[in-house]
Amino acid sequence: MFYDLNVPYTSNHVELQRTLAFLAERYNTIALNHTISGKLPSDLVLSRLTFVLTTPASTPRLQSLVPHYDILALRPTTPQTLTLACQSTPASLISLDLTSSRLFHLPRKSLHLATQTGIRFEICYGAGVLNADGGTHGHGEMVGMARRNLITNATALVRATSGRGIIVSSEAAWALACRGPWDVGNLAMGWGLSGERGREAVGREARAVVVKSASMREGWRGVVDVVWGGEKPVLKKLETEGKGKGKRKADVMMEKKEGKGKDGVEEKPISKREMKRRAKKARMEGKGDEVEEKGATKEKCAHASAAVDSMTMDSVKDT
């Protein structure tokens, strides 16, 4: 296993692709280094991976990318990959290239299925604001073409999704391409979204993407959140005392039928001679108890008669 843990990220995507292609043949793990300076945003800075989905063969390995990024987005390039991204992928965001003049057909059924499962669709306005070199002047025809394609394709996406599950992002490589949240809401109204939907596109809907990505990363399939509930208590087994105590009547009868004792150990079967001997012994013990009871009764009667005679003699003497 070979590692290169510092490959600088550059905005020159052509050169970056050449670097990654060269290193991918010689290294097993590569780390893209994003170097930033200055003041950070007050809330959060999230890491995101946008994977360009060209063939369905790439989808099985997408699940391994979920734990490493805060947001996993897909960019389908064909109708087949779009249908696949809407149905069975771990991504929480689908970002289409809406500046392309050859955008494929957007199937309404697949888009509605994706919005029902919590997947959002992204509209990026940055490419339709500035030209390729980051300026606002020069190459005006190219900028105008990208802007027209963005408006046409964004309107088609809003119509296909009925305005549900839409978020708006900048995808800005330069500061001049950035717009404020209220300006973004006004842009969204030009694409067919209402004012409320436009504000939700940079608010509630965008937050839903962050929450869903966190549940996919920390939970189980984005449905069950795995939390620490403490150690499982150890239950002590209570020892049963007495015959049949703590057991069902059916179990006790079964043990008797099988000839088992109190400890569950099988007893030897009793012969008929032994059964007769035990029965005779029980009868003799019963007769002995009866004789003892009769003798005790006679003694009591004798003591009672003697007491009566003594009382009679005492009364005669007194007279």
Task: Give tens-digit pLDDT for 213-234.
Answer: 888 877 765 566 666 666 766 6
Strands 48-53 and 29-33: unpaired
3-state SS, residue 174: coil
Token representation of residue 227? 């939390």
Q: HSE of 52 in the Cβ direction (CA atoms, 13 Å)?
A: 3
Q: Which residues contact 210 (CB under 8 A, 6 or more apart)?
A: 46, 70, 71
* Residue 30 or 211, more confident: 211
3-state SS, residue 257: helix
Kindly tell me if the per-residue pLDDT of 295 is higher than 80.
no
Q: How far apart are CA 227 and CA 316, in angstroms?
A: 100
Q: How far apart are CA 29 and CA 48, in angstroms?
A: 18
Confidence of residue 132 (pLDDT cuts 50, 70, 90): very low
What's 28-97 look like in SS3? CEEEEECCCCCCCCCCCCCCEEEEEECCHHHHHHHHHHHHHCCEEEEEECCHHHHHHHHHCCCCCEEECC
Confidence of residue 300 (pLDDT cuts 50, 70, 90): low
Kindly tell me if the per-residue pLDDT of 240 is higher than 50.
no
Q: Residue 17: which of 26, 7, 6 has the closest Cα?
A: 7
Least confident of 116-125, 163-172, 198-207, 245-254: 245-254
Kindly tell me if the per-residue pLDDT of 266 is higher than 70.
no
Query: In this structure, what is the dihedral angle of CA atoms 150, 156, 159, 160, given to the nearest 10 degrees?
Result: -120
Least confident of 4-8, 170-174, 181-185, 253-257: 253-257
Q: How far apart are CA 25 and CA 20, in angstroms?
A: 9
Contact 206, 167 (CB under 8 A): yes
Kindly tell me if the per-residue pLDDT of 64 is higher than 90.
no
Q: Residue 120: which of 52, 200, 64 has the closest Cα?
A: 200
pLDDT for 312: 65
- What pTM does this model have? 0.61
Strands 219-220 and 224-225: antiparallel
pLDDT for 42: 60
3-state SS, residue 265: coil
Q: How far apart are CA 214 and CA 90, in angstroms?
A: 12
Q: How far apart are CA 69 and CA 71, in angstroms?
A: 5
Give the DSSP letter of residue 127.
G
Mean pLDDT of the chain: 77
Q: How far apart are CA 192 and CA 123, in angstroms?
A: 13
Helix (H), strand (E) at residue 211:
helix 204-218
pLDDT for 140: 52
Token representation of residue 103? 């955008």
What percent of the chain is predicted at pLDDT more than 70? Answer: 66
Kindly tell me if the per-residue pLDDT of 121 is higher than 90.
yes
